Amino acid sequence: MGKYDAVVVGAGPNGLAAAITLARAGRSVLVIEAKATIGGGARTGELTLPGFRHDICSAIHPLGLGSPFMRSLPLERLGVEWIQPDLPLAHPLDDGTAVVLYRSVAETAASIGRDGGAWRALLAPLAADWEKLAPTLLGPHPFSPHLIALARFGIPGLLPANLMPRLIFREERARALFAGLAAHSFLDFGKIFSSSFGLVLGMLGHAVGWPIPKGGSQSIVDGMAAYLRELGGEIVCGWEVETLDELPKSRAILLDVTPRQLLKLAGEKLPASYRRRLQGYRYGPGVFKIDYALSAPVPWTAPECHRAGTVHVGGTLAQIAASERATNRGELSERPYVLVAQQSLFDDSRAPAGKHTLWAYCHVPHGSTADRAEAIEAQIERFAPGFRETILARSARNTQAIHAYNPNYIGGDINGGVQDIRQLWTRPLPAWPPYATPLPGLFLCSSSTPPGGGVHGMCGYHAAQAALSHSTL
């Protein structure tokens, strides 16, 4: 192989984003992927029965439309078709009803009764400000020229998620809706900054929706790869890199890996002090995931759940907070918070005619090998009696299986490390730029760099910009 301007290791969304950014700048780029196919956290495959297509990792993509980098790509021209479910999100309650996140702030406010005004006051300005806030919330630092917009987000966002909704909302319906959003953080609700994730996902639901890609998440990375090849970039699969020494000559190397893998790849080339600091990088709770092949849609009691792409199964604010607190203490929750995606209700390419898929996971302690299938199904049955009778087949993975499938998911942590206020803009270490390493020309571009987890490509984009600015490229 000839010499390249840059070599990127890892063909997930961030690795491809880095490669595209470099190729757009006129640089020659090679992407190396260990697996036989590209995808990283955006793969789709038949996990249960023939004809049932499951999203193996990510499923719902508000940041696919909300990310400035992803919006800059011609994905629709390259085959990516975004589907907006009738409702972005439904959150069932034990009284047989569901509280709903509508695309419209006004509809959401009207549906939650006495707290409608508070919801509108909180979320309407944030949704309107998404374009202003996105470069900061999805960037390498927490600074913004839009100070008013940032204050609207930052003041409530800094509060713990077990406090902020109690201060703003008077009734359990709005509190439960917000709790389900905030729980995407994997953080204990008693931690400061845990409300910020609920605000981001709420404003995205109103600003761009929670879409699904037709055919599966794989279509996103397939579109990115096609665009990279149009720009002259190359991709090689089936090459598991063991050390940096085996890479082709280049002026820059960008690694879509976690700090743990960086330590393995670079070894003694890294200064001892840097290695010690990387060894202290914190990984968070993991997930236990199940994919289902179903004979019929989930028989939710609340009719709104039949129209939602995503369903948060967890009950009240107090119940979700208890589940997340247990997980962060290394305990298994009796009633875990469960994220459910039902793509086949809106995309008939996911399953044979009349049949359906279901995507579900719950949070578990880091590295847990516990089987949480019964707990997940009990939670779904709680709001959808008869669910078990619809199951044709299931495919379950604990944290070890998830880590084995994707080495970036250390201990089942799908976010590339804890995303708390101590380790978000300062991931993997407090340094500027956070993507650079002590080795000249070596950069990290994974979710272990700002802004963290999600299919948004911004980690790769910012890392590539850092490489263009701080190397000989």
Q: Is 329 exposed, middle or buried (0-12, 13-18, 19+ CB in 10 A)?
A: exposed
Check whether residue 312 and residue 190 sit in a common domain: yes
Torsion from C-alpha of 48, 54, 56, 57, nearest 10 degrees: -140
- pLDDT at 382 exceeding the cut of 60: yes
Q: Which residue has tokens 């490509």?
A: 457
Check whether residue 117 and residue 191 sit in a common domain: yes
Check whether residue 157 and residue 288 sit in a common domain: yes
pLDDT digit string (tens) for 410-444?
Answer: 999 999 999 999 999 999 999 999 999 999 999 99
Region 218-240 average pLDDT = 98
Check whether residue 189 and residue 292 sit in a common domain: yes
Domain end residue (candidates: 379, 405, 431) = 405
Name the DSSP letter for residue 256: -
Alpha helices per DSSP H over 366-453:
373-383, 399-405
Residue 298, SS3? coil
Q: Report the amino acid identity of residue 75.
A: L
Contact criterion met (CB below 8 Å) for 383 and 302 = yes
CA dist., res. 60 & res. 18, Å (int):
22
Strands 234-237, 29-33: pairing kind: parallel
Cβ neighbours of 212 (radius 10 Å): 28
> Nearest Cα to 83, choosing from 216, 212, 223?
212
Check whether residue 278 and residue 293 sit in a common domain: no
> Nearest Cα to 108, choosing from 162, 169, 167, 158?
169
- pLDDT at 147 exceeding the cut of 70: yes
| φ and ψ of 462, to 5 deg | -65, -35
Six-digit token string for 148: 């008013």
> Nearest Cα to 29, choosing from 47, 62, 7?
7
Range of the domain at 401: 83-210+284-405
| Alpha carbon of residue 455 to chain centroid | 6
Check whether residue 328 and residue 386 sit in a common domain: yes
Check whether residue 376 and residue 329 sit in a common domain: yes
Residue 209 or 473, more confident: 209
Six-digit token string for 314: 């967890």
Check whether residue 138 and residue 171 sit in a common domain: yes
How many domains would you assign to the chain? 2
pLDDT digit string (tens) for 168-184?
Answer: 999 999 999 999 999 99
Domain end residue (candidates: 383, 405, 427) = 405
Residue 438, SS3? coil
Check whether residue 201 and residue 313 sit in a common domain: yes
CA 428-431-434 angle, 5° bins: 55
pTM of whole model > 0.85? yes
pLDDT of residue 373: 98
Check whether residue 396 and residue 363 sit in a common domain: yes
CA dist., res. 449 & res. 430, Å (int):
11
Alpha helices per DSSP H over 267-341:
272-279, 317-328
Check whether residue 296 and residue 391 sit in a common domain: yes
Domain end residue (candidates: 381, 405, 429) = 405
* CATH (domain of 422): 3.50.50.60
> Nearest Cα to 442, choosing from 408, 406, 470?
470
For the chain, what is the mean pLDDT? 97
Region 395-412 average pLDDT = 97
Check whether residue 135 and residue 170 sit in a common domain: yes
* CATH (domain of 201): 3.90.660
Q: Which residue has tokens 């990510």?
A: 58
pLDDT of residue 407: 95
Q: Which residue has tokens 């976690």?
A: 258
pLDDT digit string (tens) for 8-56?
Answer: 999 999 999 999 999 999 999 999 999 999 999 999 999 999 999 999 9
